[in-house]
Structures are given as structure tokens and as C-alpha cells.
Structure 1
């Protein structure tokens, strides 16, 4: 009996150097009933030509090209072209193990879950050294999963590393025209789920490279991070009020992240005033919350530093992460 069709959706933008590595990993998947949807988001390099080549050679690969609209737009476009019962997203410049899809599928089916999630590892260069560990599986209710996400424990806001039912994504698609679109939708997937299964076994390798959209200079679109974090807080307060402290923690971290992004110029003063206001009232909530980890409480203490000093420390820390290749959660 043939297993369910799984759609693998890959948004692509100027990724000519990386597509072949991901396609090599997908061609070796132990789960065979997959369709691979390549969506070129208006690349300026030869990415689409490479996608067409794979589509002409492999029957389960489809290549599409659209005007540039961002990763959210490309993923939504790919979903509309897909036919799978289950959906998973991977990025062209990342890497997956040969059993990535089968692992997530078995995890979901065996545990009768709405979403299955695997572990990941951040890398800065190829080749990847695969980990072959078998860790205990955890089952979450929606509330437990949201708590885990808000406090940045095991679960992440990445749409990758996850397998979800088609109807789940159909209900909560990516908001287009925004940055941090992952943050805007993953919490809704978890909140609408009856059962989420997670394994820390590393099956996905996320490559951090300079020049990506999340590591570029400031523009007003980056304020989407605050808008989305406030939206999350409103959602939590309405549907899961017992997790309000966790939503406060998420907004506090987002505000600190934005401190290093917003310039000190006069025209950005309204942004800085808003960030100061957020930080001042949220840090007290952080101190009082027993579920907050020590690292976040240290950040709350550091937030008493003058704004320019706090901004400098944030920028310096970000540079050191890239220079020293320090692994951080995202």
C-alpha cells in the first residue's frame, strides 16, 4: 500500500550555489512518495534555470517562477501548486538527512499528531557532520507547545523542521509583504493543534550565512517584529491567558532585538520611545515570572543600561555571533 503523498516546498531566491546540495539530499530520501515544488521568487542569478533542469530530469519535481514577493509569497504559491496530504518546507541553502521526511511522517502517524517536529542544528559551512542519536519523543498539547515556543525552549518559529497536515496550512498561510512571517504563523499552527509531537533528533541543518534577509541593515519593515510580537500577545491573552507571561517574554526579547536594529537618528525617535516603553514595563514581568530562564533574566538586568550602550552591546554581540560562529536559538 502506497504511503501518503508529501509535498516538499522550497522557496528560492538567488540560491544557485546551494540548490544542488538540497536536491541531492532530497533525491536520497528514504520516503519515496514525495513531490518537490521549487518556487523561484524572481531570482537574478541562474537559480530558475537550475530548477528547470531538475524538473525536466525528475518526474516528481515541479519548477515555477514568479515575480519577487518574498519567502512568504513563494511558500504560499508553492502550496497552491501542491497536492500532498502533508506539507513540509525546506530552504534551498539548508541541508536535511536522508530520512528527514520519513522520520517526520512516522513521528506524526505513530503518535496521531497534527504536527511533527524534529531537532535542528545551526551550521556555518559545509560539510555537515550528521548526528545519529535517538532521543525520547515528547507529546505536547497546544497550550504546552505554545509555552515551549514562547519561552524559546525546544520549539522554534521556523516553518522548516516540521510536517503538518494540509488543512492546517490552508487555514493559516503566511502573511505576505511582511518580514518575520514565520513568527506570524507558527504559533497559530500550534494553537490550533490537538496534538504536537517533537523529537530532538537532529534531521535538519540550518545554514547561517551573511547577506540573508534577517541579517541586513535596518529598514522600517523590520518593525514587523514588534507588530507580530504584539499580535501574538493579544492572541495569547484571548485564547491562552495562563500563558500571558510567556507572551510578555516573547515581546521583551523582540524589543531587545529591535534595539540593535533601530538607528539613533532623529527620524527614528518614535521607534526608540516605543522600545523603551516596552522594555521598562516588561522587564518587571520577566523578574516575577518563575518560568523565565536565567539568560532572559540577565538580559532584563542588562536592559537598565542607557539605550545607546544597550544598542552597542546588541550590535557587538551580533557581530561576535557571526565572527566566532556561535550557535544561537532562533
Structure 2
């Protein structure tokens, strides 16, 4: 096909239960000009065979094969083969709505966007956090080719997509949003979640490499003075919220992770931030960075959560005195969501 407008890249590894449905969601798009690049990462089940069957049915599919090397190398190899004006990375166990590519492409073209953020949840989040999963990024190929030093980091997982997206998002203000794009995420037992696989120690060994990649990038593009708040929010979201607060680290691991994050923030980020900028970070993260050690933070954080729960309960009672029903309902919903998040918060 000569007029390729969008290249969809799918890394494939042992997803025989899901890959057919994923591929079909691409073939069913109501948009002409798509090429599909499948990259088999050394699958040991029937995934490769199922991919090969589609080659006989559709001429817009390219199948690459590599020895098992990880999702970053698979995505990078797919990107090297892409011919479309825009790129989208789709996970091999998920699907997209039939107008997903059409609406994203139209927004990208109309706004001459380097990046279109897709999905309502991520469109709302991008205002505060410059880090996104791959599934939330519709990317202009020229933009990627102009920054060939930025690719998915090899031998990094999780956060390979976070590091990739953060660097790209910082480098452009030509960012569009497509909140109407529907991405269907599938949860299943074979997913590579560190919490499930109990690989906290492996993650802990990778985080210094995350920081090294970020320091090299910020120095290379001279961004510390202008984007330190974005770097701080990356650290707040990824190693703090998604890892320290959410994963089952033991006491020694928490102690080490706290020191890693604290040292990085106080030495590499805060010297470039004003007090006013620092106050734009969450109170929990500032408490974490300013605590002497993980034990002190955990103790203070528990007290903080308890206080916030009490305040939430009190506000829920006071809402009943508001005479306007719609306002009561809206505020009650917001507070209940906040209270439920407090209920599941852990350290």
C-alpha cells in the first residue's frame, strides 16, 4: 500500500488467547491508510502461528521476528520499519474502538500535533503529570525521527513507556487531546505486574537507571531550568506513587527506595525549583521527600490519611445541608471517590 498514513505497532509475546481479537480490532478500523506491524518477541506458544495466518488475508500487515529481547526492543524494531505519518503502539492483549485511529488522526492533522493524547482519563491527567503509558500516545513520525536519541530504553520494565513518553512530552507544546478515543484494556493473570510476580527487588535495582536516563536527557537538552517541575512530577508519579505507595516492599527495600528518591529530588531537582513551584507538588510527596527516613514518613503518612478520612466524613455530613440536589449529588460523588481512594491507600 503506497498511501500509508498510520503505522500501528504491536509487540507480541505469548498472547495466543488474545492476539486474534487485538489484530481484528485494527483491521476493523473505519480508516483507510493503516499498516499493521507485528513484532513477535520469540513467542513459545501459538502467537506467531496466529499472526502468520493474517498475512494471507491482508496485505497491509508486516510480521517481524526477533529472539526474546523484551517489549522495548520489539517496539523500537517496529518503529524502524514504520512508513506512516503517525505511529500508534498497541498492546497485544488489548483492543481499540473502530473510530480510534480516525478521530486521533483527524485531531493530529488539524492541529499539526506532534503528540495526541488519547482517552478521557489520560487527557485529564496530562494537565498535571507529564508521563503516560504507550497506549495513550498517538505520535507524529517526523517528531520521533527528529529525536532519534529518544527510544524505549532496553532492559527496563516497568516504566519503559513512562521514560519514553516523559522525554517526548517535555520536548513539544504541540500536544492535542482526543478524550473520545476508546481503548479497551484487558486484565488477566499473565500480565507482567511486579506486584503479582513479587519482583520488588528487581524493580529497586532498575530505578537508579531510570534516574540516570532522566539526568542525561535533561542535561542534553538543557531542561533543568525550564522543566524541573515536570521532572519532579515524574518522580512523584512513577517511583513514589506507583511504586513506594503501591508495591509490597519490605522495610529494608522501603528504606533504600526512600533514600534513592530523596537524594535524587533534593540534589538534582529542587536546586532548580522555587519554593512556589515546590508547593505545586502533592503534600504527600513533599512529606516523603522531607522525612528523615521511610519509617518517619510511614508514620506521618498514616496519620495524614486518618485525618483526611475524618475530614471527608465530616464534609459528607455537611453536604446534606445544601439545598440544591444536583450540587449535593455532584459533591457527594467527588467526596466518595476521594474517601474510597483514602481507604485503599497503603504504604
Structure 1-normalised TM-score?
A: 0.71
Q: Distance in 1 between matches of 2:275 and 2:205?
A: 26
Pairing 1:174–2:152 present: yes
Alignment of 1:161-200 (within 5 A): 161-170=136-145, 171=148, 172-179=150-157, 180-193=159-172, 195-200=174-179
Alignment of 1:295-314 (within 5 A): 296-298=282-284, 300-301=286-287, 307=294, 310=298
Pairing 1:224–2:210 present: no
Q: Distance in 2 between matches of 1:72 and 1:301?
A: 34
- Alignment deviations for residues 262-311 of structure 1 (CA, whole Å, 9 cap, x no partner): 44458x9655543465588999x899547636xx3245447859736849
Does the C-alpha gap of structure 1 residues 272 and 24 become closer, same or farther in structure 2, counting only changes over 3 Å? Answer: same
Q: Please identify which structure carries the higher strand content.
A: 1
Q: Distance in 1 between matches of 2:209 and 2:126?
A: 18
- Alignment deviations for residues 216-247 of structure 1 (CA, whole Å, 9 cap, x no partner): 32243554345325643664573252432332
Q: Distance in 2 between matches of 1:27 and 1:305?
A: 54
Q: Distance in 2 between matches of 1:175 and 1:163?
A: 19
Residue 212 (structure 1) aligned to one of 191, 214, 222: 191
Pairing 1:6–2:6 present: yes
Does the C-alpha gap of structure 1 residues 195 and 67 become closer, same or farther in structure 2, counting only changes over 3 Å? Answer: same
> Match of 2:236?
252
- Alignment deviations for residues 110-156 of structure 1 (CA, whole Å, 9 cap, x no partner): 1122222221569xxxxxxxxxxxxxx99xxxxxxxxx75832xx64
Give, in angstroms, the shift of residue 98 of structure 1. 0.4
Give, in angstroms, the shift of residue 23 of structure 1. 1.7
Q: Distance in 1 between matches of 2:59 and 2:298?
A: 53
- Residue 202 of structure 1 aligns to a residue whose secondary structure is coil
Give, in angstroms, the shift of residue 178 of structure 1. 1.6
Q: Distance in 1 between matches of 2:168 and 2:76?
A: 15
- Which ranges of structure 2 fall in alignment gaps of 5 or more residues? 303-339
CA contact (8 A) 1:119 1:200 kept: yes
Alignment of 1:129-168 (within 5 A): 149=126, 151-152=128-129, 156-168=131-143
- Residue 63 of structure 1 aligns to a residue whose secondary structure is strand
Alignment of 1:235-274 (within 5 A): 235-236=217-218, 238-239=222-223, 241-256=225-240, 257-259=242-244, 260=247, 262-264=249-251, 270-271=256-257, 273-274=259-260
Structure 2-normalised TM-score?
A: 0.68
CA contact (8 A) 1:121 1:202 kept: no
Q: Distance in 2 between matches of 1:254 and 1:4?
A: 35
- Which ranges of structure 1 fall in alignment gaps of 5 or more residues? 123-136, 139-147, 315-323
Task: Give the count of matched residue pairs.
Answer: 290
- Residue 193 of structure 1 aligns to a residue whose secondary structure is coil
Alignment of 1:10-49 (within 5 A): 10-49=10-49
Q: Distance in 1 between matches of 2:261 and 2:224?
A: 25
> Match of 1:104?
104
> Match of 1:317?
none
- Residue 185 of structure 2 aligns to a residue whose secondary structure is strand
Q: Distance in 2 between matches of 1:263 and 1:44?
A: 34
> Match of 2:319?
none
Residue 182 (structure 2) aligned to one of 200, 203, 215: 203
Give, in angstroms, the shift of residue 16 of structure 1. 1.0
- Residue 40 of structure 1 aligns to a residue whose secondary structure is strand
Alignment of 1:311-330 (within 5 A): none
Superposed CA RMSD? 4.0
> Match of 1:127?
none
Give, in angstroms, the shift of residue 213 of structure 1. 2.5
